[in-house]
A and B are shown apart, each in its own frame.
Chain A
Amino acid sequence: MSALLKISNITQTFSENGRHLTVLHDISMEVKQGEFLMILGPSGSGKSTLLRIMAGLMAPTSGKIITAPDTTHSFIFQSFALFPWLSVADNVGFGLKMQQRPEHEIKKIVAEEIARMGLEGFEKSFPRELSGGMKQRVGIARALAMKPSIIFLDEPFSALDSFTATKLRADLLKIWQEQNITLVMVTHLIDEAIQLGDRIAVLSNRPARIEHIFHNPISRPRDTRAEKFFELYDTINKVIKI
């Protein structure tokens, strides 16, 4: 697999009122075409900061980010980040509208993604009228509508109840397997990382460094009650130092 994105020696320091706080220190890794990469770490370890740097939302204090030519990306947010003044359909089509695609093309893509995410009948609803799970479905549809090479996901299921999160995880896996997209997802849940990821990059406490990158040997579909699952869980758990 070729690398779609490569980050080298990323360090991020925040400065305020003369105080400096280094959250990421000398992080290097690559994201391979078509893989499902998980970034795992304890709360406050700088996972989301790293993801935002990878997505180009934030410039690192030092280090390099190299992306393969024609790489495009979307982002799925922890708190959904839907625009409350837009309907479901308009939220899904927002990025396409910004690209000034023809209206008929936007309508077609929006209808496809709404159907894929099971949101039919809610096209004209507003985010305030939806449950958390449905809001995140809109967030996923909005990301997919852009047909990106990479989707960055910042703890996308952490604001949802466990039943909804389980269903959405399964839906996300299905979408990833059906489409040739690369997913980079941040989580603080070891079992979620093992269930979804091909590789799992474990971050240390602040300032975050990469403790280890695990290659997930468990074949799909993954049984979360299998012995291998628990073995990997224990191995990762030992690496995470809280």
Chain B
Amino acid sequence: MLLPFLFILFALPLSANDKHIFVNDLLDSAGRLFIAYGISVVLALILALGLTRGKVGAFFLPFFDVMQSFPTFAMLPLVVRIFGAGNTTVIIFLVVTIIWPVLFAIISAQKLVKEEWNEAADIYGAKGWKRLLYYYLPLSYPGLIIGSIVGLGEGWEAVVGAEIIVGLHNQGLGSFFDQNGGSSTIVLFGVFALLLCIFVMNKLIWLPLLEKSHKLLTD
């Protein structure tokens, strides 16, 4: 856990003040990313619930399949025009980036559900919010974890890109890389520090969750 911070503290070729700025920028970007991630997860769960059931789902699924291939950066100027060059724009852009892998991984997990589990849930009265909480969410969990790993991976790339394009000043890694673009050493060390953070987060959070999720649906 300490590895990225030790790297930033001792190896990053920046002054103490610039290191402080880098950490703040990193936290700003991470904050945007996790807000967008939270919104994406809620939306993906709701959409997956609808898309895996009934004829309406079968009708809309191919549409969403095309949507996930949509070049999201192409939408950025339009989003800036509507919402302005601020946090909201970056977060909306991130939601559009993260939601697809999360949504399709949950749908994929849902498709693997045994019909007898559905029947058991019906017979034993899992309806409405109770079905959602005690049946649908545990079933979605493995897909949610895999989708989150992929979605956040794409999200880190998107957050830096979006912050540079939107032009957020002194608020995020995009701004940091934009301002230090003249120094390839700082950019490389910055990218390495960011990769270390992502690596540590995967190792400490996502991989154990992935391991646990594999066991969850093994009967």
A residues near B, CB below 8 A?
52, 55, 57, 73-75, 77-86, 94-95, 97-100, 127-128, 135, 142, 146
Contact = CB atoms under 8 A, between A and B. Distances in A.
A55 B123 contact: yes
Contacts of A57: 119, 122-123
Main SS at interface, chain B? helix
Nearest to A84: B219
Contacts of B114: 79, 81
B216 A98 contact: no
Nearest to B139: A85
Report the interface size class on chain B.
20 to 34
A82 B114 CA distance: 11
Nearest to B122: A57
B143 to A, nearest CB: 13
Given A57-B119, A74-B123, A94 B215 contact: no
Interface in B107-125: 114, 116-117, 119-120, 122-125
Nearest to A52: B119
B10 interface: no
Interface of B: 114, 116-117, 119-120, 122-127, 130, 134-135, 138, 141, 215-219
Contacts of B141: 85
Given A75-B123, A94-B134, A146-B124, A81 B218 contact: no
B109 to A, nearest CB: 12
B119 A75 contact: yes
Contacts of A135: 219
Given A79-B114, A99-B125, 13 more contacts: A52-B119, A75-B119, A77-B119, A78-B116, A81-B116, A83-B120, A84-B217, A85-B216, A94-B124, A97-B134, A98-B134, A127-B219, A128-B219
Contacts of B130: 97-98, 100
A135 B219 CA distance: 10
Contact of A128 (B123, B125, B218): B218
Contacts of B127: 98
A77 B216 contact: no
Contacts of B123: 55, 57, 73-75, 95
Closest 10 CB pairs of A and B: A95-B124, A98-B125, A81-B116, A84-B219, A81-B120, A85-B138, A75-B123, A127-B219, A85-B216, A128-B218
A222 B140 CA distance: 48
B116 A84 contact: no
Contacts of A97: 130, 134
A113 to B, nearest CB: 13
A11 to B, nearest CB: 21
B126 A98 contact: yes
B125 A95 contact: yes
A95 B131 CA distance: 11
Nearest to B117: A81
A99 B132 CA distance: 15
Nearest to B120: A81
